[in-house]
Amino acid sequence: MPGMAQGHALRDAAKLPPPSADIDCDIVIIGSGAAGLAAAWRLAKEGRRDFIVVEGPEPDGNAAGASMAGQACPTGAHYLPLPSMESRHVREMLQDVGVIVGDAYGRQPEFDERVLVHTPQERLLRAGKWYEDLLPDEVDAPAQRAEHQRFARTIEQLKSAVGSDGRRAFAIPVALSSQDAQWRMLDKLSFRDWLTREGYRSAALHWYANYACRDDYGAGYERISAYAGLHYFASRAGEARNAEPGAVLTWPDGLQSLVRALRARIGFAAGSRLDDRTAPRRMSGFAASVQLKGKGVEALIVQQEGGASRTLRIRARHAICAMPLHVAAHVVNDMPGFGFDAATHLPQSAPWMIANFLMRRFPEERAKSPLAWDNVIYAGKGLGYVVATHQLIRVARPEYTVFSAYDALSERSPQEMRRWLETATPTELLGRAAGDLSMAYEHLWPCVERVDITLRGHGMASPTPGYLSNKGLLALREVDGPLQFAHSDLSGYSVFEEAAWWGEVAARRLL
C-alpha cells in the first residue's frame, strides 16, 4: 500500500522533530506523479533549472511500475489513449521522448510502432468463448445488436460534436470541453440512468458501460455521472497515421516507462546536492506542511531513513502542490482560504487492487485463442488482466511473463471497500485477485510463480454526478500566486492526460 503509513501519520498529526536544514530554491514541486513531473518537464524545457521535486511516498505515483524476475510490469496506469487534438501538451511530451516521430500536432501523428499496442489488442471471455471485441456482435440477438449500433452511432456523433463556444463537446482535458448546457446537463444523472432513459436495454451494453466506468473511474456506472460515462467514449478521438482507430500506447511496465523518459528529459542532477541551484533536483521525503510565508511558500519535508525521521525546511518563491487532494487537505495550510472545503469538495476516491502474477509459463488458452494485451472477462469481478510481455518483438515465448490483474473495488461504497482491504487476509486478497484469471484458465496455478499485490486505497477520484460543478475543484484550478495546485484530482477524474494538463497549467503560470 504505497504511502499509507505516511499518509495516515499525517492525518493523525504525528509529532515531528524540528527542521535540521533550510533549503532555498525558486520553485518546489511537491509530489512526483504525472502532474508533478509534467510541471517539472515543462519548467526544464523552458530553461528553468532552479527547482526541486519532492518525490513523496511514491515516486511516479499512480504511474509507477515494478519488476518481477527481471520483467517490468505496471502497478498503476498501463496505457495512454492516442492523444486528442486538444492534448497538445501530451503530444509535445510524446514527441520529446520519441514516442511521436512525425506530425506531432496533426490529425494523425506517426507514433513509434513499438509502443502502439500490438495486435491482438483485447478480447472478451463470454460464456466460455473468447471474442475479439468487448461488445462482440455475433453473440447477441438482433434487437440488442441494433442497440449496440445505435450506441456506437451516438458516440461517433458525440466525438465530433462541437458546442456554440467552438469547443468539442467532450474533450480531454475535460477543462477544454464545451460549456454548452445541452451536454453539461448530463452531469445531473448517473450513466446508468442515462442509458435507461435513452431506451438501452441490452444486458451486454449495460455490462460494457459499467465495465468502462469501473475501469476508468473506479466505480460502477450507477454512481458515475452520465457526462463522465459519455466522456470516456466520446473524448477518445485521437488517431495515428500508423495504427487503427482506438489503438493505445503501452509499455511493459505501463506508464512508468513514459514517466521515466520524462525524468530523463528533465535531467535531474545526479546525487543529492540540493544546494546546487543550476540543475533540477529531486529529493525523497514527503511534505508535512505547506504554507504561504512572506512572498513565497514554506514546506516542511519529512525524510525517513531506517526508523529515524528528520525534517527539512524548503523556502521557495513558488510551490506547485502536486499531491492528491485528500493529502493536500491535511498538509496545506488553510485550504478553505483557497476555496476548498474538504468535507464537501473532496471527490469520492476509489480503492484499487493491482495483482501482478509472475508466470513461469503461459497457461493453456481455450480453443488456442491468441493471448491479447488486455483480456477481459464478461461479468467478471475484476477488470481483466494485461500481459507485460505483449509488446516484445519475439517469436518464442519469454521465459517469464507477468499478468497484471486490475480490480476497482466498487461493489460497495469506497469506505466499506477500504475497510475490507485493511482487514482482509492475504489469502482473501489473493482469492479476489485471481478471480478473473481462474475463469480464464483451468490450470492457472501451476503456471504461477509469485503474486505481488499493490493496494491503492485512494487510487483515483471518481466523477460522480455533479463533479463538473464541484466548486472546490473549480476554485483550486484557478489558484494563482506563490502556490499552485496540480493534480488529476482537479479534473474530478483520473487519467494521465488530465494530470499532465494541470502540471502544464501550473508550470505555464510560472514562466
Partner 1 sequence: MRDRILILSVFIVASCGLAYELIAGALASYLLGDTVLQFSSIIGCYLFAMGVGSHLSRYVKDEDALACFIDVELLVGIIGGLSATLLFAIFAWASAPFRTVLYALVFVVGVLVGMEIPLVMRVLYGRKAEMREMVSRVLTFDYLGALVVSLLFPLVLAPRLGMSRTALLFGLLNAGVALLTARVFDKEIKGTRGIRLRGAIVVIMLIGALAFSSQLTRWAEQSVFGDQIVHAETTPYQRMVITRWQDDLRLYLNGNLQFSTRDEHRYHEALIHPAMQSLPGARSVLVLGGGDGLAVRELLKYKTLEHVTLVDLDPAMTHLFSTSAELTAINEHALTNPRVHVINADAGQWLETDAHSYDAIVIDLPDPSNFALGKLYSVPMYRLVSKHLAEHGYVVVQSTSPYFAPHAFWCVVATLREAGFYTWPYHVNVPSFGEWGYVLASRHDSFTQPDHYDVPMHFLDASSTREMFHFPADMLAPDVEPNRLNNQALVHYFEQDWHRVIR
Ligand X SMILES: Cc1cc2nc3c(=O)[nH]c(=O)nc-3n(C[C@H](O)[C@H](O)[C@H](O)COP(=O)(O)OP(=O)(O)OC[C@H]3O[C@@H](n4cnc5c(N)ncnc54)[C@H](O)[C@@H]3O)c2cc1C
Q: Summarize as ranges the residues that interact with ligand X (CB under 6 A).
A: 3, 30-36, 54-59, 61-63, 76-80, 286-287, 322-324, 327, 331, 352, 354, 456, 459-460, 487-488, 494-496, 499
From the list ligand X, partner 1, none, partner contacted by residue 79 (C-beta under 5 to 8 A by kind): ligand X
Nearest-angstrom CA–CA distance, 503 and 492 = 15
Q: Closer to ligand X by CB, 30 or 372: give it.
A: 30
Nearest-angstrom CA–CA distance, 511 and 507 = 7
From the list partner 1, ligand X, none, partner contacted by residue 117 (C-beta under 5 to 8 A by kind): partner 1
Q: Closer to partner 1 by CB, 240 or 316: give it.
A: 240
From the list partner 1, ligand X, none, partner contacted by residue 392 (C-beta under 5 to 8 A by kind): partner 1
Q: Closer to ligand X by CB, 71 or 356: give it.
A: 356
Q: What are the residues binding partner 1 (CB under 8 A)? A: 112-114, 116-121, 240, 242-244, 247, 370, 392-397
From the list partner 1, ligand X, none, partner contacted by residue 8 (C-beta under 5 to 8 A by kind): none
Residue 407 CA: distances (Å) to CA of 112, 128, 216: 30, 21, 11
Give me the least distance between CB of 318 and ligand X, in Å please: 16
308-321 vs 296-305, strand pairing mode:
antiparallel
Q: Closer to partner 1 by CB, 268 or 400: give it.
A: 400
Give me the least distance between CB of 227 and ligand X, in Å please: 18
- Nearest residue to 155 (alpha-carbon basis) of 222, 237, 210, 240: 237
Q: Closer to ligand X by CB, 87 or 144: give it.
A: 87
Give me the least distance between CB of 219 and ligand X, in Å please: 12
Q: Which DSSP symbol is given to 467?
A: G
- DSSP string covering 6-47, please? HHHHHHTT---PPEEEEEEEEEEEE--SHHHHHHHHHHHHTT
Give me the least distance between CB of 244 and partner 1, in Å please: 5
Q: Closer to partner 1 by CB, 35 or 240: give it.
A: 240
From the list partner 1, ligand X, none, partner contacted by residue 30 (C-beta under 5 to 8 A by kind): ligand X
Decide if 458 contacts 475 (C-beta within 8 A). no
Provide the grid cell at 69: 524476475
Nearest-angstrom CA–CA distance, 26 and 5 = 30
Give me the least distance between CB of 459 and ligand X, in Å please: 3
Residue in this structure with the C-alpha cell 495550510, named with its chain if needed: 333
β-bridge partners, 484: 320
Decide if 380 contacts 436 (C-beta within 8 A). yes
How many Cβ atoms are within 10 Å of 8's Cβ, its own excluded?
Answer: 12
Torsion of CA 256, 483, 506, 19, to 10 degrees: -30
From the list ligand X, partner 1, none, partner contacted by residue 393 (C-beta under 5 to 8 A by kind): partner 1
From the list partner 1, ligand X, none, partner contacted by residue 352 (C-beta under 5 to 8 A by kind): ligand X
Going through 364-447 in order, the beta strands assigned E by DSSP cover: 374-377, 385-387, 401-408
Nearest-angstrom CA–CA distance, 495 and 62 = 10
Q: Closer to ligand X by CB, 321 or 447: give it.
A: 321
At residue 415, the 3 state secondary structure works out as helix
Give me the least distance between CB of 94 and ligand X, in Å please: 13
Provide the grid cell at 132: 475479439
Give me the least distance between CB of 408 and ligand X, in Å please: 8
β-bridge partners, 297: 292, 316
Give me the least distance between CB of 352 and ligand X, in Å please: 4
From the list partner 1, ligand X, none, partner contacted by residue 388 (C-beta under 5 to 8 A by kind): none
Q: Closer to ligand X by CB, 144 or 488: give it.
A: 488
